[in-house]
Amino acid sequence: MKKLLTGLLLPIILFGCATKEPSKTPDKIAADPNTFTNPIYPNGADPWLEYFQGNYYLTTTTWTSQLVMRKSPTLAGLATATPIHIWSESELERCCNFWAFEFHRLNTPKGYRWYVMYTSGIAENYDRQHLSVIESQGDDPLGPYTYKGSPMPDIWNIDGNYFEHNGELYLLWSQWVKDEQTIWISKMSNPWTVTGEKVMISRPQYEWEFSGMKVNEGPEIIKRNGKTYMVYSASFCNTPDYKLGLVELTGSDPLKPESWRKFDKPVFSKANGVYGPGHNGFFKSPDGSEDWLIYHGNASELEGCSSTRSLRAQKFTWNDDGTPNFGEPVAAGKPVVSPAGENGPLITKVQGTQVQLVSKADQQCVTNVNGKISSADCNSTQASWTLDYTTNGNYRLVNTAGLFLGQGGEQCAASPSADLNIAPWHNQLCQQWQLVPHDKGWLTLVNAQSKQELQFADCKEPALAVSGKKSVEDVPQFIEKKSACTLWRVQPLGEVAITSIQSGKAVTSAGAIAKAGNNIEQNEWNNNANQRWLLVNTQDGYYYIQSSVDAKLCMAIANKSIVPGSNVELAACGDIQTQWQVDFLNDGTVKLANRKSNLVLDLAHCGLANHTNFAQGQWLNSNCQKFQLKPIN
């Protein structure tokens, strides 16, 4: 059977191994903010999507050794959302050929956690594909993540999914039995461990499940009005006849095959120029009123299981008998009304970096008091904001009450004074901001609609120290001089994990005991103190990246070097080689530049393995030099 699988899947190997991440520039973006068009973007096989706290989060198959996640406040925005690698693998038994990622929010004794289940195996072929599970540190789908284990490491199993029923957790998956790919179920003792018997609950029975090969895979659960359905993908994905079938749980015990009733007709098939529609997921609209289908499809009968499969979404309804009615695939380019509530009004907590906006003029912070935005003492509990990237080069600033900082009237109505306001999200440019770097770590906050810089009318310029005829505050001649009232620094709050968007792994100080000279490297998240950092302001917009283990030790450049390739290590905080500029980039990531050398933190050889080293390097705008700051709960 392994030889049969390897031979049959050879066309996929030829296509899949050469797959690259899609360009961030989509072929077409809907101009109307109330609609989008399918496909949302190319190379979107095996999609899984969740709408959570103000953002859509999406994963799709990569074929590589990395898990990629995108987030956006709109479906259309996923086309240009920055691909973030939340996990990477170098262990040979599970390193390669990553497929079909699913992420689920489960309640645990530690609180809610996200569990990403994915299929991977060895580099040579697909004969040893099996499921693995990683767990998030907190409630952010972007992680950081820790590897937990494989439910069944010794058998071929793919397309894993969780099923919660009567207080019990079950695993659904697909595996081969002779010449049939079948769907199985088993109880779980935790999100990465199966216990007890393994039971087959669906196998190919009908002619429409036999195209190319006899296949049942991709089981997905949907519940409504007390009924439970399993939607699955049927026939071989390398044919245009890949489609969706339906099974209903009619008995009380899901471990009994007779508890599941299969429908004899497919529920979603090729139509309207869309071929092979399948491997689906479900999600609710932002306001919770609509049910949506996410799936991949092809634009030609000749396209199969390769990078040609593109991401598509559409709303579905329900039949009188309680079964889902998916209709037909929507034709490419046809405008689709966006999910209800996407354009607000929306009040929601948002996951992201917690920050304060500190003024250069008076060291006061942007604060929300009783709905009024003002400059006030940074010790105020209302001076905290979540910084959230919106995919188009802009950011949202969300307060603790789930309201968004904007300029002008609510919903961007004209306002002669262009007053700052706090309001529910309405998906308007006036509620989005550009973070524009200036000098010495300072930046301006520019409203995406008005193009005005954030400043307060009652702000007073500070007195400048003068040496001879030259102001100490002078900037280089090639940098525009700015009023201190328009300049801000973004102060991250609390302990953070610094994760590479190349590998998903965390910046870590090596060694069991924190001491000067310890190397800075990457490791998978293990929630140790040597992976926790505090960003402490020193002068202007510069920061110590201070060890959580010892406040006297900071990330630094070895030997105070300004040479590219010089190592990064722990050193006593103080000198400028231990200080860093934190730039929030227009793709939602962070660049860390050393104050002394002006070189950036750089992941050696763009490596994915644990213990890969960090040094300083010339800025190349690569994923190996970009990071995320993630709050640690």
Q: CA nearest 182: which of 166, 164, 159?
A: 159
Is 159 part of the annotated catalytic residue set? no
Whether the link from the prior residue into 631 is cis, omega within 30° of 0, is: no
Write a three-state SS string for 459-518. Answer: CCCCCCCEECCEECCCCCCCCCCCCHHHCEEEEECCCEEEEECCCCCEEEECCCCCCCCC
Q: Which of 217, 241, 342, 569 is flagged as catalytic?
A: 217
Q: Which of 46, 220, 453, 569 is flagged as catalytic?
A: 46
Structure tokens at 592: 């860390």
Through-space distance between the first and last CA atoms of the chain, rounded to whole angstroms: 47
CB 505 within 8 A of CB 499: yes
CB 80 within 8 A of CB 21: no
CB 131 within 8 A of CB 119: yes
- Please give the helix or strand (H or E) that residue 616 lies within, else none: strand 614-617
How far is 410 from 413, CA to CA, in rounded Å?
6
Contacts of 468 (CB under 8 A, 6+ apart): none
What's the sign of the alpha-carbon dihedral 548, 550, 552, 554?
negative
Q: Residue type for 273, please?
A: G
Cβ atoms within 10 Å of 321's Cβ, excluding its own? 7
What would you report as the CA-atom Rg of the chain, rounded to the nearest whole angstrom?
A: 26
DSSP 278: E
- Cα 484 off chain centre by: 35
How far is 425 from 428, CA to CA, in rounded Å?
8
Contacts of 372 (CB under 8 A, 6+ apart): none
Using CA atoms, how far residue 181 sits from 1, 36, 163, 213, 245, in Å, is 11, 35, 20, 8, 14
How far is 155 from 152, CA to CA, in rounded Å?
6
Is 32 part of the annotated catalytic residue set? no
> What residues are annotated to the active site?
46, 217
